[in-house]
Amino acid sequence: MHRLLPIHEIAPDLLDACSPNEGVRVVIEAPTGSGKSTQVPQILRDGRVTGDQEIVVLQPRRLAARMLARRVAWERGGRVGGEVGYQVRFDDATSRETKIRFVTEGLLMRQMLGERALPGVSAVVFDEFHERHFDGDVALARCLRIQEELRPDLKLIVMSATLEAEALLDYLGRPQTRRLVSSGRTYPVEIRYEPQRERTAGGLWDHVAKAMGEWYRGHGVEGHALVFMPGAYEIRKTVEAIERCSWARGFRVLPLHGELSPSAQDAAVEASDSPKIVVATNVAETSLTIDGVRLVVDAGLERRSDFDPRRGLATLRIEKISRASADQRAGRAGRTAPGVCLRLWSEEDHARRESSTPPEIHRLDLSDALLTLKAGGIHDVRRFRWFEPPQSQSLELGMKTLVEIGAVEVGSEKITQLGKELSRLPVSPRYGRMLFDAARAGCLEFFAVAAAATQTRGLFPNQKKRASDLTLADFMEPGDVSDFQPLYRAFCRAADLKFDGRACGEAGMNPGAGREMDKVARQFLSAFQRRHDLPADQGRVPGGEEIGRILLSGFADHVAIRLSEATLACHVVGGRKGLLEKASVVSGEDRPGKGANRPPFGRLLLAGEMVEVEGRDVTVRLSLATRIREEWLEELYPGDFQVVEGAVYDEIQRRVVAKTERRFRDLVIETRATGEVPPAEAARLLATEAAEGRLTLKHWDDAVEQWIARINTLAEAMPELEFMPFDAEARQLALEEICSGAFGYKEIKDRQVWPALQDWVPAHQMWLLDKHAPERVQLPGGRSVKVVYRHQAKPKISVLIQHLFGVRQTPCFAEGRMPLVVEILAPNHRPIQLTEDLAGFWAGSYAGVRAQLRGRYPKHEWPEPG
Ligand code: ADP
Ligand code: MG
């Protein structure tokens, strides 16, 4: 053990708090690096308050669970899997000897299903609780109940670096819960904001390298540096960018993220005498400590999994970190001595950021968690003892998913037999449902690989390196209707090559990704082993129809429809727009030498993967697609179809036609024209097309728009005249009148428009319009100039500077309340200046304008300023 760590100051209090035999609840607050994660389990074990039973330490992150186990095993002179072990999804390093077990929160949740009373466990330690992951929230709630109802001897310890303890103490129960605080040692950290200037070229990583270089050149090197980047890709780019710099000679540059090998991860965290630069994800924010860091460089971003309850879409996107996270990160520079933090964003940006990251319970798809609760005997999830209850919208959506896949009963929401089975699988219930159907059909191997493909990295790199490299297209065969078909063949090829690095690399495949897929697929397979109700042989390769039907059972909300054969654009269930990946089997794109492979065009498809396109609104990229047929949808979801009748404007015929729409949920599958429509409806639709600028009427010209703008300008400038503004509704009404009796564009395009507009301003008020918002303005000197009225802007005149000499003041309308904007033009009609203050122009910038123009236009008169 590391006896020098600050946490040991509270060790006696901790042991004292844990000594009672019943109802032990402890909250520990101590800054990052004080020894919570590595020491507390050892203090408990060596202090003999847990007997020979297990101490379970919950971690939000897999990487942290693995590394902490390695560290603690090493401190105790053992190996991982002995006294100290870890368990994360798809990876179990524990044995019967294991007494300190680091586990991810989600995994413990699943475990509590089978063994509700947590036999053999004496203490559960919730680490990093402030991160408020959904699984952690629920696990704590369940443990409280277990302690109250079944296991009073179970000890519960909640730890955090930045706990807002008050709410937690209320939740755990005030007098019963002991609160232990260790202030630890921290040094001041100087914060500097170094935003990337827009004009500098290069990615964020180049900015990191540049900012670090400048810092080191000016201040010299002291201690290590820690750079925060959002993900593996950005980390790799940053390492490369730093290594290219001459200032970085003498540094070791080390990446740290979950996809690295254990030895690479160790290398980043290990103590080092020579200066190193660790480029890490937010795992180094609080979970892992790197000693001796004096400089933190923070890109200010993180990959966050989110779930949008309105759209029902899970996203993993890069987001700006909160101010609380930024402070945590900065604090990493002040653990051993005063430090510095370079924030690569501006102070203004910082002030606008959210103060802390919202808890996952407000962000994620709850279907998985709700099913776990139900399987654990908690039927009424709405009245569950939440630390902080989820939004009812996300709760209802999660429940809807469960009903849809048959995990709970319609209406009663009771968990079904299928639901119980699904809750035991290490995947979300949607995937579970799909795998279950596959297993019943005897083709689990194929679907296990398909599901693994959606959960892991791609087998083929994004870019071909050499012409000889294979791509997915090389594995396509005539008649394929699903991207999973070539993908499975490619996977089998990689497996035949035994995922050998050289052999796979030569074929252009990524052996690491192949091994990962293999491992995950095996997990899926093993979840169904030893089930006598299922066929023993699961190796059958399903045909296209079977693939489509089985996918549909879990992913009805991934159904999309192509707009036409000529485009990859799709509509997706849930009102989303999508773009099908070009390389997909179902895209119908010609591939060299593969022309015969094109399947006949089918509009309906199901996307195995939907990724939100960053920066665009409600657009998703659809990949791993499979063609499906409407009949299958009808068979599986007969209640989700409806027929809607109405009228539409048909762009091709340029007419309003009656139509009947067939919809699957909100997705229009078919539209049929069915004759003509009531005239009022036709006029309304034509008017809307015209109002939105998709149809133009010959006589609705600029003069009409000016007339409208004049009315609106006056209505706003002189409200006492009570002119009604000519708004969008008025426009629609006027257009409807113009279009009345018509069904097509041909009939309306030459129609007169003034008759429908004139009455808007009563005749006896026209003089007011002409007086206060006239079409032309008379300048002193007698020249008349056209006024341009504009939407939501002041009226403007454009005048040659020569014509303005002698015009001292800005002309005004509306009894002097509305000065015109004057655009002053040079003799060549180029604008010189826009002003609402002519007097100011003459007294100010005119002198400079004159000096410039006089040289160019010597023949013109240029009166002296003043
Ligand atoms: P906390 O959980 O309070 O943030 P930890 O228990 O994770 O603290 O770490 C305590 C100290 O142990 C760290 O400050 C660091 O000095 C050391 N430490 C932890 N893990 C490692 C490791 N893998 N390699 C080297 N030192 C480590
Ligand atoms: Mg910790």
pTM over 0.75: no
> Could you tell me if 316 and 301 are in contact, meaning their C-beta atoms sit under 8 angstroms apart?
no
Give the position of tokens 């008050």: 166
pLDDT at 528: 81
Distance 33 CA to ligand 2 centre (A): 7
Question: Is the beta carbon of 687 within 6 A of some atom in ligand 1?
Answer: no
In this prediction, residue 583 has a pLDDT band, given cuts at 50, 70 and 90, of: confident
Question: Is the beta carbon of 659 within 6 A of some atom in ligand 1?
Answer: no
pLDDT at 309: 41
**The tokens of 267 are what?**
């290398």
Question: Is the beta carbon of 269 within 6 A of some atom in ligand 1?
Answer: yes
Residue 616 confidence (pLDDT) above 50: no
pLDDT at 705: 93
User: What is the average pLDDT across 731-746?
Assistant: 94
Q: Rounded distance, CA 196 to CA 346, Å? A: 8
pLDDT at 544: 92
Residue 197 confidence (pLDDT) above 90: no
pLDDT at 593: 43
* Position in ligand 1 atom list of the atom nearest CA 184: 3
pLDDT at 590: 52
Residue 313 confidence (pLDDT) above 50: no
**pLDDT tens digit string along 231-279?**
888 899 999 999 999 999 989 999 999 878 888 888 999 888 899 999 9
* Position in ligand 1 atom list of the atom nearest CA 290: 15
User: What is the average pLDDT across 458-476?
Assistant: 81
User: What is the average pLDDT across 489-499?
Assistant: 94
Burial 100-118 (b: 16+ CB within 10 A, else e): bbbbbbbbbbbbbbeebeb
Helix, strand or coil, per DSSP, at residue 202: coil
Residue 128 confidence (pLDDT) above 70: yes
Instruction: Determine the distance from the C-alpha atom of residue 86 to the mean position of all C-alpha atoms in its chain, rounded to a whole number.
Output: 30
pLDDT at 3: 65
Helix, strand or coil, per DSSP, at residue 293: strand
Helix, strand or coil, per DSSP, at residue 78: coil
pLDDT at 314: 46
In this prediction, residue 548 has a pLDDT band, given cuts at 50, 70 and 90, of: very high
Distance 43 CA to ligand 2 centre (A): 15
Question: Is the beta carbon of 34 within 6 A of some atom in ligand 1?
Answer: yes
**pLDDT tens digit string along 702-728?**
999 999 999 999 998 999 988 889 999
**The tokens of 537 are what?**
């042989």
Residue 597 confidence (pLDDT) above 70: no
Residues ≥6 apart with Cβ < 8 Å to 299: 204, 208, 227, 228, 229, 230, 234, 344
pLDDT at 133: 82
More confident site: 466 or 438: 438
User: What is the average pLDDT across 526-541?
Assistant: 84
Distance 104 CA to ligand 1 centre (A): 18
pLDDT at 536: 85
**pLDDT tens digit string along 407-423?**
999 889 999 999 998 88
Residue 389 confidence (pLDDT) above 90: no
Distance 25 CA to ligand 2 centre (A): 19
User: What is the average pLDDT across 47-57?
Assistant: 93
Question: Is the beta carbon of 397 within 6 A of some atom in ligand 1?
Answer: no
Residue 316 confidence (pLDDT) above 70: no
Residue 618 confidence (pLDDT) above 60: no
In this prediction, residue 158 has a pLDDT band, given cuts at 50, 70 and 90, of: very high
Percentage, residues of the chain above pLDDT 90: 46
- Give the Å distances, CA to CA, from 717 to 703, 757, 764, 789, 819: 21, 21, 19, 13, 11
pLDDT at 519: 85
> Could you tell me if 439 and 556 are in contact, meaning their C-beta atoms sit under 8 angstroms apart?
no
- Residue of the nearest CA to atom 17 in ligand 1? 289
Ligand positioned closest to the Cα atom of 4: 1
Residue 306 confidence (pLDDT) above 60: no
Distance 182 CA to ligand 1 centre (A): 15
By most ligand atoms within 8 Å of CB, the mutation choice from 38, 72, 187, 288 for ligand 1 is 38
User: What is the average pLDDT across 475-497?
Assistant: 93
DSSP codes of every residue in 60-77: S-HHHHHHHHHHHHHHTT
Distance 289 CA to ligand 2 centre (A): 8
> Side by side, which strands form the sheet with 276-280?
189-193, 339-343, 293-298, 224-228, 276-280, 252-256
Question: Is the beta carbon of 625 within 6 A of some atom in ligand 1?
Answer: no
Helix, strand, coil share of the chain (percent; to 5)? 40, 20, 40
Burial of 235 (0-12, 13-18, 19+ CB in 10 A): buried
Question: Is the beta carbon of 291 within 6 A of some atom in ligand 1?
Answer: yes
In this prediction, residue 622 has a pLDDT band, given cuts at 50, 70 and 90, of: confident
Residue 1 confidence (pLDDT) above 70: no
pLDDT at 310: 38
Torsion angle of the four alpha carbons 843, 848, 853, 854, in this order, in degrees rounded to the nearest 10? 80
Question: 30-39, 446-455, 480-489, 569-578 — which one is most confidently predicted on average?
Answer: 480-489
Question: Is the beta carbon of 332 within 6 A of some atom in ligand 1?
Answer: no
pLDDT at 308: 43
Q: For 134-148, 205-219, 591-605, which range has the lowest pLDDT when averaged over its residues?
A: 591-605
Residue 535 confidence (pLDDT) above 60: yes
Residues ≥6 apart with Cβ < 8 Å to 751: 697, 699, 738, 739, 742
User: What is the average pLDDT across 92-120?
Assistant: 86
Residue 764 DSSP symbol: G
Residue 199 confidence (pLDDT) above 60: no
Give the position of tokens 């946490």: 7
User: For residue 318, what are the β-bridge partners?
Assistant: 303
In this prediction, residue 615 has a pLDDT band, given cuts at 50, 70 and 90, of: very low
User: What is the average pLDDT across 824-832?
Assistant: 90
* Position in ligand 1 atom list of the atom nearest CA 67: 23
**pLDDT tens digit string along 835-852?**
999 999 999 889 988 988
* Helices 62-75 and 36-46, axial angle in degrees (round to 10): 50
User: For residue 307, what are the β-bridge partners?
Assistant: 314
Question: Is the beta carbon of 42 within 6 A of some atom in ligand 1?
Answer: no
- Give the Å distances, CA to CA, from 499 to 141, 148, 264, 517: 43, 50, 21, 10
Q: For 57-66, 290-299, 341-350, 385-394, which range has the lowest pLDDT when averaged over its residues?
A: 385-394
Residue 112 confidence (pLDDT) above 90: no
Question: Is the beta carbon of 517 within 6 A of some atom in ligand 1?
Answer: no
Residues ≥6 apart with Cβ < 8 Å to 702: none
Percentage, residues of the chain above pLDDT 70: 94
Average pLDDT of the chain? 87
Distance 36 CA to ligand 1 centre (A): 8
